[in-house]
A and B are shown apart, each in its own frame.
Chain A
Amino acid sequence: MEDLLDISALIQLRVDGQFHELDVLPSRTLLDVLRDDLGKKGTHLGCKTGHCGACTVMIDGKVAKSCITMAATLSRAEITTIEGLADDDGSMHPIQQAFWDEAGLQCGYCAPGIVLSALELIEDNHNPSTKDMEVALAGNLCRCTGYQSIKRSVTEACVRMYPEQK
């Protein structure tokens, strides 16, 4: 049984398109690895209990809270952070552009959760209702906006990403 136990775990992550093989200590979260090992500071620490959503990333295309994801358990995973949405030349993803143009956020700290959760929603449902948005963003807190500008930004993002929907 000794050969099963190890002080660390070897994981393979493709983060925002870049491949990494990492040896991680088991108590470390995906958030720790992204921020401290890979220098990806765009994803934020808000509560460490999984309530606020500021730590949201996509794991294999689906949103997840990185502060309550143990890095060691991700033996092979595709990770997208808020930093991975823009093009290589720096031009913003339409959803980021929509949030910017519509003054969707204020302090910006909740951006990873709000933007990625909204993106997952829109890609699945090109014309979400307010109720759909509420369900999709149930895991995210914003303390600055009262959510109104966020709703407006999500609607605008749909218009830009899927103009064929009315």
Chain B
Amino acid sequence: MSLHPMYARPRDLEQASELLASLSSGAVIIAGGQEIMPYINYGVMMPDVYVDIGGIDALRGVSAEADEVSIGPLTVHRDIQNIDEIVQQLPLLAYAAKQIGGGMQVHNRGTIGGNIVAMHPLYDVAPALLALEAEVELLSENGSQRMSLSELQELSNHGLGTSSILTKILVKPMSPTTLWGYYKLKNSAGAYGSANAAVVLQLDGENIKSIRVAIGAATEKVVVVSGNLDSYLGGPYSSEVGLAIQKTCSDAIDEPLSDQQGDGVWRKAMAGVAARRATEMALGKLNNSSSKG
């Protein structure tokens, strides 16, 4: 806790990594700052050292290979929404990024890396990435590690934000036949999400071949529902199937969040409604009908 913090702007990953290793504690990594600045402004966070990774080129850029889209964590939300590689290969992610709150200002400065590292239950990017089974790379004093985003969510000692750096976000490109949907339930335009559901769906003719749902904002951690939806595979979608998906997703919510926006009982139910609506949106695409934007 320091009134006179130090500042460093390492020029590359190696320098950043060495620096973080040399600082035992009290360091905070900053990129766009959209997440941590409110805490700093109110004196809730008073780091001893700020490590500004904004100058590290290796953390920028998006490249799409045949089997992997590699996203630099410093990519701002506005670019995630608009860059060809993301729009073409990961349309669910581009769309989810459009739902981020805070306005164009936050879209211009906020980074996808910062959003992920925040691990804020109410945010939009994680549900989309978890639905897409994204992976991440971390750099710490133990070297570079690659893991799924789900695994990262379960770790408590990842050190992101203070001692390790998120260096890459890796996602398999969505196939052109993949259907996707994202439904964000907010109380009003300026509210945070109360239930954010991302759905990825594959059809085989009329029948559901696979379905994967990730629901954010309902619980502390994003909940991924896939295995328990197996009973709906092999058959067509119908409103009964939709309601069943809704119930399964709602049942998957233990310990729903309760805050000023809504209580836990409601949230648990809304997780299911959001999942069903996101599914309907995904299927709406198949029929070329308009869906809620």
Is A–B contact present in the complex under a CB 8 A cutoff? yes
- A5-B49, A50-B37 are known contacts. Are A63 and B55 too (CB-CB below 8 A)? no
State the A residues within 8 Å of B (CB).
Answer: 1, 4-9, 25-27, 29, 48-51, 53, 56, 59, 62-65, 67-70, 72-73, 75, 113, 117, 120, 134-141
Q: Mark interface residues in B99-112 (1 if CB within 8 Å of A CB, else 0).
A: 00111111011000
CA of A120 to CA of B78, assembled, Å: 13
Q: Is the CB–CB distance between B7 and A8 below 8 Å?
A: yes
Contact partner of A7 among B7, B31, B42, B109, CB < 8 A?
B7
Q: Is the CB–CB distance between B105 and A27 below 8 Å?
A: no
Stretch with Cβ within 8 A of A (4 or more), from B8-16, B154-162, B175-183, B250-258? B8-16
Number of A-B contacts (CB under 8 A): 119
| Interface flag for B40 (CB, 8 Å) | yes
Q: Is the CB–CB distance between A120 and B104 below 8 Å?
A: yes
Cβ contacts under 8 Å, B50 to chain A: 26-27, 70, 72
The closest CB in chain B to the CB of A2 belongs to B22
- A26-B50, A70-B33, A70-B50 are known contacts. Are A138 and B41 too (CB-CB below 8 A)? no
- A29-B37, A67-B37 are known contacts. Are A141 and B190 too (CB-CB below 8 A)? yes
- Min C-beta distance of A33 to chain B, whole Å: 14
Q: Is the CB–CB distance between B41 and A6 below 8 Å?
A: no
The closest CB in chain B to the CB of A120 belongs to B104
Cβ contacts under 8 Å, B61 to chain A: none
- Min C-beta distance of B205 to chain A, whole Å: 36
CA of A63 to CA of B77, assembled, Å: 13
CA of A62 to CA of B18, assembled, Å: 33
Contact partner of B103 among A8, A25, A73, A137, CB < 8 A?
A137
Cβ contacts under 8 Å, B147 to chain A: none
The closest CB in chain A to the CB of B34 belongs to A68
CA of A53 to CA of B190, assembled, Å: 12
Q: Is the CB–CB distance between B4 and A7 below 8 Å?
A: yes
Q: Is the CB–CB distance between A26 and B106 below 8 Å?
A: no
Cβ contacts under 8 Å, A26 to chain B: 5-7, 50
The closest CB in chain A to the CB of B78 belongs to A62
CA of A147 to CA of B102, assembled, Å: 17
Q: Is the CB–CB distance between A48 and B41 below 8 Å?
A: yes
Q: Is the CB–CB distance between B6 and A6 below 8 Å?
A: yes
Known pairs A27-B5, A49-B41, A50-B102. 12 more at Cβ < 8 A? A25-B4, A26-B7, A27-B40, A48-B41, A49-B38, A49-B42, A59-B109, A65-B105, A68-B38, A69-B109, A113-B105, A138-B101
- Min C-beta distance of A54 to chain B, whole Å: 11
CA of A113 to CA of B109, assembled, Å: 15
Q: Is the CB–CB distance between B52 and A73 below 8 Å?
A: yes
Q: Is the CB–CB distance between B103 and A9 below 8 Å?
A: no
Within 8 A of A (CB), among B12-38: 15, 18-19, 22, 30-31, 33-34, 37-38
Interface centre among A5, A6, A7 (most CB of B within 10 A): A5
Contact partner of B38 among A48, A135, A141, CB < 8 A?
A48
- Min C-beta distance of B48 to chain A, whole Å: 10
- Min C-beta distance of B94 to chain A, whole Å: 15
Cβ contacts under 8 Å, A68 to chain B: 33-34, 37-38, 41
Q: Mark interface residues in B45-68 (1 if CB within 8 Å of A CB, else 0).
A: 000011010110000000000000
